[in-house]
Structure 1
Amino acid sequence: MDTTARTPDGTTPDEGAADRLARDLALVLPALHRALDRRVDADFPHPKPAEGQITLMRLIRDRDGITVREAAEVLLVKPNNLSATVTHMVAAGLVERRRDPDDKRVTHLHLTPTAAERTHAVDELISGYVEQALATLSDGERGALGAAVGALHVLERGLHPSAP
């Protein structure tokens, strides 16, 4: 006979807490992202690249010379869709494609100086907004967020389709 305590909805207290946490995270993380995106839209002095382009520029910045196929795997998008984005970004002067010296079929992606500067500017704006918001929190709230960052990275890796 199962003597586990259950809530009125039939879950155990731990299951109910996990369900609430999952729902809350699924709602708050995109809301945080949208709030930051709206602030950047309002304050960025140049035409702001689409979020997918900014994400790709950050990836190229961090992994200079990455290929379209590698970038597509990291960003969880189809290579042909990413290739179309790259073509648009090349035309806009944000990304350079350079042929691999050993395999002419492969191209490596590099940021232009303009793209590097704008990616940095967007990241600085976002950091500033978050720093301002963090300043309004208590020490305990900031500590809780600091402790949660590592767990959020682990959660993201666990949600990635390539996770075991």
Structure 2
Amino acid sequence: MPVSRASVQDLDRVASALAACLPALNRALDRRVAQNFARPKPPEGQLALLRFVSQQEGATVREAADALLMRPNNVSALVSRLAEQGLLECRQDTGDKRIAHLYPTSRARRELAEVRRLEGAHIANALQSLTDGELDALGSVVGALTSLTRHLHSVPAAE
């Protein structure tokens, strides 16, 4: 594990700023995308599940729950809703009939592509308003945020 030279006070300040900024950034982007989406945009939990299933076709509810840091019963409820909406296909496991494998439908793929396109367009538009220094700083921090996300996913939640 890398050793940080930052003080506890500096770490607390950065942690607090990130905890405030990242959800606000996500909400702002979500609102912008929803304004331009052709129909009601699926909620973020549904999109997260569809994104996972698109990357891991054939995953089970348990695998999706583990990857998304959600409870299996919550993922199961999302699966039912998405299947009813024609966005997810559930195929029964040949060996164990209690297990379903999840696959995105072609409609889900189209909607995910549209969400990604809109997200990229809105972010690119916002980036144009930044200074060169701010753009350089964001470029440098992307890798660190990716590492931070990976670490938060791999560390068990505090009791």
What TM-score do the two structures reach when normalised by structure 1?
Answer: 0.86
Q: Corresponding residue for 1:158?
A: 151
- Please give the residue correspondences for 1:104-115 in structure 2 after superposition, counting only pairs within 5 Å: 104-115=97-108
Residue in structure 1 matching 2:58, options 41, 53, 65? 65
Q: Which amino acid aligns with 2:60?
A: T
Q: CA deviation at 1:84?
A: 1.1
- State, as a whole percentage, how many aligned pairs show the same letter: 47
Alpha-carbon distance in structure 2 between the residues aligned to 1:88 and 1:121: 20
Asked which structure has the greater RCO (Cα within 8 Å, sep 6+), the reply is 2
Alpha-carbon distance in structure 2 between the residues aligned to 1:80 and 1:15: 38
Residue in structure 1 matching 2:24, options 19, 31, 41? 31
1:69-108: per-residue Cα shift (whole Å, max 9, x none)? 0000011111111101101110111100012233333211
Alpha-carbon distance in structure 1 between the residues aligned to 2:12 and 2:99: 45
Task: Give the unaligned 5+ runs of structure 2.
Answer: 1-5
Partner SS state of residue 27, structure 1:
helix
Alpha-carbon distance in structure 1 between the residues aligned to 2:19 and 2:40: 29
Partner SS state of residue 89, structure 2:
strand
Matched pairs, number:
151
- Please give the residue correspondences for 1:132-151 in structure 2 after superposition, counting only pairs within 5 Å: 132-151=125-144
Q: Corresponding residue for 1:120?
A: 113
Q: Corresponding residue for 1:20?
A: 13
Q: Corresponding residue for 2:41?
A: 48
Alpha-carbon distance in structure 2 between the residues aligned to 1:47 and 1:15: 44
Alpha-carbon distance in structure 2 between the residues aligned to 1:14 and 1:81: 39
Q: Which amino acid aligns with 1:67?
A: T
Partner SS state of residue 38, structure 1:
helix
Alpha-carbon distance in structure 2 between the residues aligned to 1:60 and 1:159: 21
Q: Which amino acid aligns with 2:50?
A: M
Q: CA deviation at 1:161?
A: 5.2
Alpha-carbon distance in structure 2 between the residues aligned to 1:146 and 1:136: 15
Alpha-carbon distance in structure 2 between the residues aligned to 1:46 and 1:63: 26
Which structure's CA Rg is the greater one? 1
Q: Corresponding residue for 2:76?
A: 83
